[in-house]
Amino acid sequence: MRSRQRMFAAVMRLLLKCLRLGRRRRFRLLRQLEQLWHYGHLCLRSLLYNSFTNGDVVLDSLFEPIYWLVDHVTRWFGVVFVALVIGLTSSIVAIVYICLLPLILQTYTPAWICWHLAYGHWNLIMIVFHYYMAITTSPGHPPQAKNDLTGVSICRKCIAPKPARTHHCSICNRCVLKMDHHCPWLNNCVGHYNHRYFFSFCLFMTMGCIYCSISGWDMFRDAYAAIERMKLLEKERLQVAANQTYYQTPPPTFTFRQRAFHKSVVYLWVLCSSVALALGALTLWHATLITRGETSIERHINRKERQRLQKKGKVFRNPYSYGSWDNWKVFLGVDVPRHWLTRVLLPSPHLPHGTGLSWDLPPCVTEQRAPLLAI
């Protein structure tokens, strides 16, 4: 009896020991799995962690394929846009010479004829010159070597020196000095060396479109009324022809030359008015930026910096702004009073101040501004 109890107790102790060992092994296995999970999670976070990551970065990453598509489409369609500008401008000039100029010579007084000939041809020369210079002049690129550059950063995309006011163009795939934007209508970037040509082209093109719209307003009204009258007479002519018993077609009420003349005048006025509104708004926008001494890209950067410093109770100052009047003189390259005639009102291929690598005080600035970002 006692031997049986001892055997039963030994079996029970052995069973409890086995259960205790199995529980320890199970807990050890769960602990190892938990450690592996935490280690893998830590490795993943270490690979993806970035202290600068926020909602804007995530949104930009999601839209990166769309940006890539737009960049490549803009690059390939730049030639089409340039051809479109040349074609539309040439059509307007042809209509003016073929349709409007003979009418002006027949009806206007000699004084008005001289004024129209002088102003129209001057405006046309300024448009053609500045557009040609804007599309053929390189905006300027920083050198690849860093030997002669001090205090510059490195572009993260092209791994090259990036001086102040320099930005990377994703369409040209290069850094551009004092980059403003990439213009598809020029098939070129707007930067340090062709910014003046771009703005002058926008200004003189807007002036030319306004001149054509104002000068051709009376002609447009007459041409539009004539077209409406042509439509009405054409409808009546078709009704009369349908009621006739013979097969002879009645003669047209308007000749082909008259139809082409009226439709060309309407086309000229509508196109010039539309371009004047759209391009005029763009010109005013860039004029505001020039007055502030900043580019389109710098406006967004300066606005964020101004908001950041405002929260700290500080005032933001643009180190590249010398005052409204001096900003215009620096932009246009006006050093002496006669330059307003030779460099602004007449075609001039003069270079802008500086090299775009450093921004020293231009000689035409009358008052030196404190080159401080914040005070």
Annotated catalytic sites, by residue?
Answer: 183
Q: Which of 141, 242, 236 is nearest to 188 (CA)?
A: 141
Q: Which of 351, 304, 348, 315 is nearest to 330 (CA)?
A: 351
- Per the DSSP assignment, residues forming a β-bridge with 189 are 182
Give the whole-angstrom CA distance, residue 331 versus residue 352: 7
The b/e string for 207-236 (b: 16+ C-beta within 10 A; e otherwise) is bbbbbbbebbeebbeebbebbeebeeeeee
Structure tokens at 116: 């129209």
Give the whole-angstrom CA distance, residue 264 versus residue 227: 11
Contacts of 27 (CB under 8 A, 6+ apart): none
* Measured torsion, CA atoms of residues 140, 141, 147, 152, in degrees rounded to the nearest 10: 100
Taking the CA atoms of the chain, what radius of gyration do you get in angstroms? 36
CA quadruple 75, 133, 192, 320: dihedral sign:
negative
